[in-house]
Structure formats: structure tokens, C-alpha cells
């Protein structure tokens, strides 16, 4: 994946009003920046919300990126914009939390090694030692933090401290089978991405694939979302489905489910890493 060292990305969300695109474009032109891609979306031109994502290349006459951001801050304050600006070449630090199942973990590791995920992975944390050998074969630091009922809070704090020590930008729950506390979630707001099967809320609890088989489902799905205090109800980033039929056994449904889970999660992670997602309320805008 080719990375332009002078390319930057700008995400904007604000109340819709006249002149936003003009003001931002004029600013970029004034500082010798060239727009290479621009996308925008308005929920309602009459008093709704406005969202925009711009990729631009800094020019020869542009100030350094730090000063560029400082200059844009004045415009953003004046126009009351919520915004984020990143260099495309900067690799975000992505930590992964996983339990025993490895299908989502391996999908991310394959894409990372192939250069399809422009991230660094400083650490992978698990409540089981099952995937230690796999992770270390990729040259990534693996940390086993056991979780039990009597020390769940201590285990979480240990993980939080480790993640902050590595200064991670975001966290991926690659089938991490633990419910995170509000303390954990609030330590990384809109920076934790989860994946789960889309049988919820119809088939809750243990062994949802057996329950789905008993009902004769015709679609298998998966949902990737940001984690909030409301279990499995955070802003959705990506969903995918796979058609199945009466010939599928419970095990075949489970395999199909794993396939769609790993694909949906990998897409969500890629979009987050590429600054393509804006969170608004309990929804996302994905450019």
C-alpha cells in the first residue's frame, strides 16, 4: 500500500450551514494544499448535521504539519467545527484483545503482514495462552492476563495500564469473550472496535448457532461496532451477511459465521485506521 508522506486527512462534523465547503477549500488553497479527494454528507440541509472527509497533499509552500493544524484550529473554532486531522503516513498503534478463537485474529494478522492494514501492533492481550505461539510467530508481543470473577477488576486495570504504556490509538476485540467494564470503555472512548454475530437479539446466550439451526435461519450475519457501556449496542461501523440454507449443519453454520465475522471486522478496522469513520450519537458516517 503506497503511502504519500505529504498526504493528510481531515474529518469534519458540525451543524449544517452555508459556507463550510468554501471556507475549508479556501483555507487549503491559501496554504498551498491540493485536494485529492473530498466526500460530504448532510443529514438535512435545513438545520441538520454536516459531515466531510477530505484527503489533501501539502504543497511546497505549505507550513509543517504541526503548524498547519494550528492554523486550521483558528478556522475550526470560528466556524464551530468538530474536526480531526491526521497524516496518512502515520501508522496508528492498534492493540488486539482475543480469547481462544483465532479466526478474527488471524485475518487481522494476515492483512497486517501483507501491508493491507497500515498500522503498528505493539501488543496482543489475551485471557488465555492459546494463541501465544501464533502471535509470537509474527514477532508481536503477547501478554496473557488471566481473568476470573474474583480478580476481574484487577485484570482489567492491568490491561488498561499496559495499553496506555504502549500509547495505543485504538483497540480491537477479536472475539474477546469478556464484558468490559464502564471504566475500561471510558478509558478509550470510540477507540474500541468489537465484532459479534448478528443473531442478536433473537438468539442470545450460549451456542447461538445451534438455536439458529433449530429455527432454520437463511442468513448468517456479523456486526462490527464501537464499544459503549450498552452491551453490543454501540455505533455500527460495518455489517455483512451470508446466505445459507436447510442443508447447512450446525457446524457449517458456525464456519459460515466465522467467515463473515472476520471479513466484517477487518473492514471496520481498515476504515477506522484510514480515518474514514465519523461517530455521531449512536451512529457512524463511513466515507
User: Which band of pLDDT confidence, cut at 50, 70 and 90, is reported for residue 35?
Assistant: very high
Whether residue 201 is preceded by a cis peptide bond, meaning omega within 30 degrees of 0, is yes
Q: What is the pLDDT of residues 156-214, one digit of tens each?
A: 999 999 999 999 999 999 999 999 999 999 999 999 999 988 765 677 666 788 888 88
Whether residue 69 contacts residue 81, with contact meaning beta carbons closer than 8 Å, is answered with no
What is d(CA 253, CA 203) in angstroms, rounded to the nearest whole number? 14
Query: Which of 59, 127, 56 has its CA nearest to residue 96?
Result: 127
Question: Which residue from 250, 233, 235 is spatially nearest to 285, judged by alpha carbons?
Answer: 235
Task: Mark which of 49, 64, 87 sits at the end of a domain.
Answer: 87
| pLDDT band of 137, cuts 50, 70, 90 | very high
Total domain count, the chain: 2
pTM confidence score: 0.93
Domain boundaries, position 48: 7-87
Report yes or no on 56 lying in a domain.
yes
Asked whether residue 1 is domain-assigned, the answer is no
Give the residue ranges of DSSP H helices in the chain. Answer: 20-30, 65-79, 103-113, 132-137, 152-165, 182-187, 208-215, 250-273
- What is the C-alpha R_g of the chain? 21
Give 212: exposed, middle or buried? Use CB within 10 Å, 0-12, 13-18, 19+.
buried
Same domain, 53 and 184: no
Q: Are residues 127 and 235 in the same domain?
A: yes
Of the chain, the percentage scoring pLDDT greater than 90 comes to 85
Q: Given a cut of 80, is residue 3 above it in pLDDT?
A: no
Query: Of 32, 62, 87, which residue sits at a domain end?
Result: 87
Report the CATH number that the domain containing residue 147 is assigned in CATH.
Answer: 3.40.50.170
Which of 58, 87, 116 delimits the end of a domain? 87
Tell me which residues are annotated as active site: 232
Q: Which residues contact 54 (CB under 8 A, 6 or more apart)?
A: 9, 10, 12, 24, 28, 35, 37, 38, 39
Residue 77 has pLDDT above 70, yes or no: yes
Q: Identify the CA nearest to 124 among candidates 108, 103, 147, 148.
A: 108
Please state, as a whole number, how many other Cβ atoms lie within 10 Å of the Cβ of residue 71.
Answer: 14
Amino acid at each position: 500500500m503506497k503511502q504519500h508522506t505529504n498526504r493528510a486527512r481531515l474529518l469534519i462534523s458540525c451543524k449544517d450551514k452555508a459556507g463550510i465547503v468554501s471556507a475549508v477549500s479556501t483555507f487549503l488553497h491559501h496554504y498551498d494544499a491540493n485536494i485529492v479527494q473530498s466526500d460530504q454528507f448532510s443529514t438535512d440541509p435545513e438545520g441538520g448535521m454536516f459531515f466531510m472527509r477530505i484527503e489533501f497533499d501539502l504543497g511546497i509552500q505549505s507550513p509543517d504539519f504541526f503548524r498547519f493544524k494550528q492554523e486550521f484550529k483558528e478556522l475550526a473554532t470560528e466556524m464551530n467545527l468538530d474536526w480531526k486531522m491526521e497524516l496518512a503516513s502515520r501508522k496508528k498503534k492498534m492493540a488486539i484483545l482475543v480469547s481462544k478463537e483465532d479466526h478474527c485474529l488471524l485475518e487481522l494478522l494476515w492483512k497486517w503482514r501483507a501491508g493491507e492494514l497500515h498500522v503498528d501492533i505493539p501488543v496482543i492481550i489475551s485471557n488465555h495462552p492459546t494463541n501465544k505461539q501464533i502471535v509470537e510467530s509474527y514477532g508481536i508481543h503477547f501478554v496473557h492476563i488471566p481473568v476470573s470473577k474474583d480478580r476481574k477488576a484487577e485484570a482489567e486495570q492491568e490491561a488498561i495500564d499496559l495499553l496506555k504504556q504502549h500509547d495505543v490509538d485504538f483497540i480491537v476485540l477479536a472475539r474477546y469473550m469478556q464484558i468490559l467494564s464502564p471504566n475500561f470503555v471510558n478509558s478509550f472512548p470510540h477507540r474500541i472496535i468489537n465484532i459479534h454475530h448478528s443473531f442478536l437479539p433473537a438468539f442470545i446466550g450460549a451456542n447461538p448457532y445451534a438455536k439458529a439451526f433449530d429455527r432454520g435461519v437463511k442468513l448468517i450475519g456479523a456486526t462490527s461496532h464501537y464499544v459503549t457501556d450498552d452491551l453490543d449496542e454501540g455505533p455500527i461501523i460495518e455489517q455483512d451477511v451470508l446466505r445459507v440454507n436447510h442443508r447447512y449443519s450446525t457446524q457449517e453454520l458456525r464456519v459460515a459465521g466465522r467467515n463473515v465475522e472476520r471479513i466484517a471486522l477487518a473492514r471496520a478496522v481498515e476504515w477506522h485506521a484510514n480515518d474514514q469513520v465519523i461517530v455521531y450519537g449512536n451512529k457512524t458516517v463511513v466515507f
